[in-house]
Every structure is written in structure tokens, then in C-alpha cells.
Amino acid sequence: MPESLTSSEINSKTDPSVGKQYDTETSKDKQIKEFFDLVDSKKIGLLNTYRNGIGPVGRSMAVAKRVGPDFLFLANSHSRKFSDLSQNPECQFTFQDSKTQDWASITGVATTVSNSDPRIKELWSNGVKAWFGDLGDGKHDGGPEDPRMTLIEVKAKYVSYWLHQVGALGFAKEVGVAAMTGKVAVTGVLRELREGDLQAARKLA
């Protein structure tokens, strides 16, 4: 149900929608598990890098594999994201579900490896070829040994995510009642996983 806005919240200069949905009750183990469940159901997200002179730049990426709170991607080494990451390895990867409004944001540090990394063969699938093309020279064929085929590994250092607690009708009702009464809509839970939590998540994986 919508919750009343208090003068103490105004005086504290905090965002009431964040404060009222921030989850301080659920155990970290359960928060980690539900984070894994959320991202495993969303295979495509946005990888955001930082480009000097421009700022954040994002593009759609498919997750090749999740390893605990960390993520692996197969990518073309000729992409500009590699020059971005060579200058600033910090990046962000985000997911959002347009139906439920659930979302997750992973801030991390990316490393890239050469085509000789054995994980590339493990993660490669025939569908990946569609994004590379085949030059017909027996080398640049979109296969796992194509020299353009490169691995990006994002090690998470901070995660925030939001999970809905009401369905579509409940969401509309919550927002409508809050707007009419001056209360604050509470439609889900907002959670944070910091570095200590993420170290624990790597052990749970």
C-alpha cells in the first residue's frame, strides 16, 4: 500500500520512493539468489563503456555466461568498445524487463583476452557467426578461432536491482492511489550488493 510522506524524510533530503522501497529485511543470501534468478532470465542487456571526449556509450550485448556476479561476453575485437575499455576498464551492464519493470545494474571492471583463451571455444555457438560474417579466407569465418573473436569479462564491484512486488493491475492501483492521496507508491523492493556481498556471491555460485 502507498505510504505517507513524513517531514523527517523531507528534512533528511532523501528520495522517499527509494527509502520506502529499500530492502533492509531480506537476507543477503536470498538477495544474491534472487539477483541471479533475475539476470539469468534476461539474456540481453546494455553494456555501457566510457569514451573519452564523449562520455558513456552503450550497446546491446548477449551474455555468454554468468559466473557468480560476474559476466562473460563474446565480442568482435574490431568494435570500438575495446578501445573504450583499453582507456577506462570501468563499465556498467544493465537489464530491464519491460513487463514487470524489474531491472538490474552491474558496475564493474572489464578485462579482455586474446583469441587463445580456451573459454572462447566453450562459450561459442553457431549463432555467434551471424554477428561476424565469413570473409571466405578460411580464417575470418566467425568461428571460435577467428582472430576477431574476443572475450570480455566484467567483474562486478557494485550491483543494484529492483524487483516488483505487485502485478500490472496492482502497480496501476498503487500509483493511482498514491497520486490521489499524496502518499508514496511502493511497488517493489530496491536492493544493493556491495563488494563484500559480491565476494560472498562468488562463493555461493
Give the domain CATH number at 158: 2.30.110.10
Measured distance CA(136)–CA(19) in Å, rounded: 57
- Tell me if 103 is assigned to some domain: yes
Q: What does pLDDT average to over the chain?
A: 90
| Strongest mean pLDDT among 15-29, 111-125, 161-175 | 111-125
Q: Please check the confidence at residue 116 and state whether its pLDDT lies above 70.
A: yes
Q: What pLDDT, on the 0 to 100 scale, is given for residue 170?
A: 63
**In angstroms, rounded to a whole number, what is the distance separating the alpha carbons of residues 152 and 112?**
5
Strand partners, 36: none
In a domain, 1, yes or no: no
Q: Say if 2 falls within a structural domain.
A: no
Domain carrying residue 73:
7-204
Residue ranges of E strands in the chain: 44-51, 55-62, 65-67, 70-76, 90-96, 103-113, 149-164, 188-193
Which tens digit of pLDDT belongs to each residue from 6-52?
A: 777 665 667 777 777 899 999 999 999 999 999 999 999 999 999 99
Q: For residue 22, give the 3-state DSSP assignment.
A: strand
What is the pTM for the complete model shown? 0.88
The predicted pLDDT at position 183 comes to 62
